[in-house]
Amino acid sequence: MAVDLAVDLNGLKLRNPVLLASGCVGYGHEYQHLVDYAKIGGIVTKSVSPLPRPGNPPPRIWETPAGMLNAIGLENPGIDRFLSEKLPLLNTLPCAVIASVVGGTMDEFADVAAKMDGADKIEALELNISCPNVSHGTDFGRDPAAAETIVKHVRARTKKPILVKMTPEAPDVVAVARAAEKGGAHAITLCNTWRGLAIDVESGRPRIANVTAGYSGPAVRPLALRLTWEVAKAVSIPVIGIGGIATANDALEFLMVGASAVQVGTALFADPAAPEQIVEGLGEFCARKKIDRVASLVKSFRP
Amino acid sequence: MNENVHRAVAILEQNRTLADGVHVLVLAAPGWARDVKPGQFAMIRAPGPEPLLARPMAFMTADEKHASFGMKVVGRGTTALSLAPAGTELVVWGPLGKGFAAPAKGARHVLVGGGIGVPPLVLQAAAMTKAGMPPVSVIVGARTKAELFGREELKKLKLTPKIATDDGSDGIKGFVTELLKKEDLGPGVVVQACGPTPMLLAVQKIALAKGARCELSLEARMGCGVGACRGCMVPVSAEAKKSGRFTGREYLCLCLDGPVVDATEVDLERNLGVH
């Protein structure tokens, strides 16, 4: 049975609903010999800021049960070097490319977004208003009014579809998602990491130089799934689910609660074949259930 | 990224215990380790969903059908691998990173390995011997005799290592750096070393003070092994920030820019300070 895996996220068409998450696939070239980009829906680049950022001091990562902590600190080459050094390879990838955009102010977000406009290969922008590892990284993501304002502000400076990557730590995640929709977002990416902490008890010092760090991996999956369910019920734009997705079964859970697509992050580190295996597994599941379009699984959850 | 990197499902053919917590893993993976350069590493994932991340390990031997790695049990990942029986399937990807410089004609090469740092130097010694330019000295160390990696492999190469052990059970009682100090170092000598960071800091000081060229293979916690997660950063030295491949950079990304770096490129004191 031929299963149609294609999804349409408010005009952003993907071969299948599996995207690789920002911060986990670099700018594509890092995994070009390990991931078959022709088999996945697309990638979201590491966040790009107006100027280069060296990132946080090491140690930056620490593994925890069923997950990991990271505090990379938005290390990136800046928009100008992104366009000159990273875009040429991205242009050759046989999948959708979404660029993650970050800044310290609304104008910085908008400046980066505007500079992306000339790059035709970039099909959409994902606003990272949810980085837990830099000061003020989640300012725009915690407050509905601020989220709406920044989306509107960037909206005015780019023609590309805008995805908004949410922080799960907003006091009212649903309100922020609604505000992003009102501001003109095409889709919601839910969600970035939770702030965690790990300590070396021998020294009494933190495992991560930044002290707190974003927590990701299978451990957070039930938390992200619950948020995805709640947000998908509350907004009419597509939701992209992310949080500990490592298998096709995990991806199916997110689709069923209302995600139109998913992003795979930490699981890519654990096994570069995971994203392709998820795509394969989605097809197998649909075939077994005699479902001809994967998109029809969205919101099929029966609580 | 190395063009010949690829993912494989390898079979753990042997899981040899040299001493308590010290293992040699022999993996069967036809074709996978064909083009390994000494000093390069692989990401090796323990079986099952946990622990999540693969562990970086430097190749000790590599040929058409097999690859072997030295491993010391330090945490959850290495514990899980130490318990894996022969026949276990392991997800691996590699070869990764930049290895040691190939032997240079006319140069005198001194290899220094401590503990878990010995395995990549065994592969370097093999490559140098094969190229007809064997190292003038191979200095290896371990806590105790039973924990010393590469004894058989070096013997096969007809190389007689100079040995240091913490307890004096083999060679001198003390550190590999004491043996290095006795070497005739200077311009025209290339010191290539791998081991714990405090040892590498001492090797760096000894070799550079005598005017030798020095390459160090460092270690760091890694998430992906391919430069995507940016987890394995090492501070660049003040000197290397001014010129060369790391101009203007605060940190190098060890899985891509290393694990072998020139000793002048890294600030190991700062690296120790933050760990």
Q: What is the pLDDT of residues B66-107, one digit of tens each?
A: 999 999 999 999 999 999 999 999 999 999 999 999 998 889
CB spacing of B235 vs A57 below 8 angstroms: yes
Per-residue b or e along A255-282, where b marks 16 or more CB atoms closer than 10 Å to that residue's CB:
bbbbbbbbbbbbbbbbbbbbbbbbbbbb
Could you tell me the two tokens for A56? 């946080």
Task: Kindly state the helix (H) or strand (E) to which residue B201 belongs, with its residue range.
Answer: helix B197-209
Q: Using alpha carbons, select from B162, B131, B129, B165 the residue that is nearest to residue B147.
A: B165
Scanning every residue of chain B, which has its alpha carbon at the shortest distance from the alpha carbon of A23? B229
Contact state of A24 with B228 under an 8 Å Cβ cutoff = yes
Among A30, A59, A209, beta carbon nearest to B228:
A30
Give φ, ψ of B49 to 5 degrees: -75, -15
Interchain contact, A269 vs B228, CB within 8 Å: yes
- What is the band of A134 on the pLDDT scale with cuts at 50, 70, 90? confident
List Cα–Cα distances, A97 to A40, A121, B239, B267, in angstroms. 11, 7, 38, 37
Preferred mutation among A29, A30, A37, A90 to probe B, highest tally of B CBs within 10 A: A30
Give how far the C-alpha of residue A54 lies from the chain's centroid of Cα atoms, to the nearest Å. Answer: 21
Q: What pLDDT is attached to residue B273?
A: 57
CA distances from B20 to A70, B143, B166 (A): 32, 12, 16
Supply angle C-alpha A228, A232, A235, rounded to 5: 135
Q: Does A109 reach chain B within 8 Å, measured CB to CB?
A: no
**Which pair of structure tokens corresponds to residue A1?**
């049975």
Residue B11 CB burial class (10 angstroms; 0-12, 13-18, ≥19)? middle
Q: Which residues of B touch A35 (CB under 8 A)?
A: none
CATH number of B6-96: 2.40.30.10
Contact B221 A75 (CB under 8 A): no
In this prediction, residue A166 carries a pLDDT of 97
The residues in B 76-115 lying below 8 A from A, measured between CB atoms, are 76-77, 91, 93
Cα–Cα distances in angstroms (integers) from residue B275 to residues A17, B53, B220, in the given order: 40, 20, 10
**Contact present, B92 and B47 (Cβ < 8 Å):** no
Does B1 score more than 60 pLDDT?
A: no
Q: Where are the alpha helices (DSSP H) in chain A?
A: 78-81, 87-90, 106-116, 139-142, 144-155, 173-183, 221-234, 248-257, 266-270, 274-288
Tell me whether residue A131 is one of the annotated catalytic residues.
yes
Contact A205, A199 (CB under 8 A): yes
pLDDT digits (tens, 9 = 90+) for A234-293: 999 999 999 999 999 999 999 999 999 999 999 999 999 999 999 999 999 999 999 999
Which fold is adopted by the domain A7-55+74-194+215-297?
Answer: TIM Barrel (3.20.20)
Rounded average pLDDT over A48-65: 96
CA A84 to chain centroid, in Å, comes to 23
d(CA A232, CA A161) in angstroms, rounded, equals 19
What mean pLDDT is predicted for residues A2-14? 96
DSSP state of A193: P
- Tell me whether residues B50 and A63 touch, CB distance under 8 A: no
Domain ranges within chain A, ordered by starting residue: 7-55+74-194+215-297
CA-based nearest residue to B118, from B193, B173, B37:
B193
Position B136 pLDDT exceeds 80: yes
Q: Strand pairing partners for B68?
A: B26, B61
How much is the average pLDDT of A27-47? 97
What would the two tokens of residue B131 be? 């190229």
Region B247-268: mean pLDDT is 96
CATH of domain B108-274: 3.40.50.80
- What pLDDT does B275 receive? 41
Contacts of A196 (CB under 8 A, 6+ apart): A64, A69, A212, A213, A214, A215
Of B52, B230, B231, which has the smallest distance from its Cβ to A67's Cβ?
B52
Question: What phi and psi, each to the nearest 5 degrees, are found at residue B267?
Answer: -100, 90
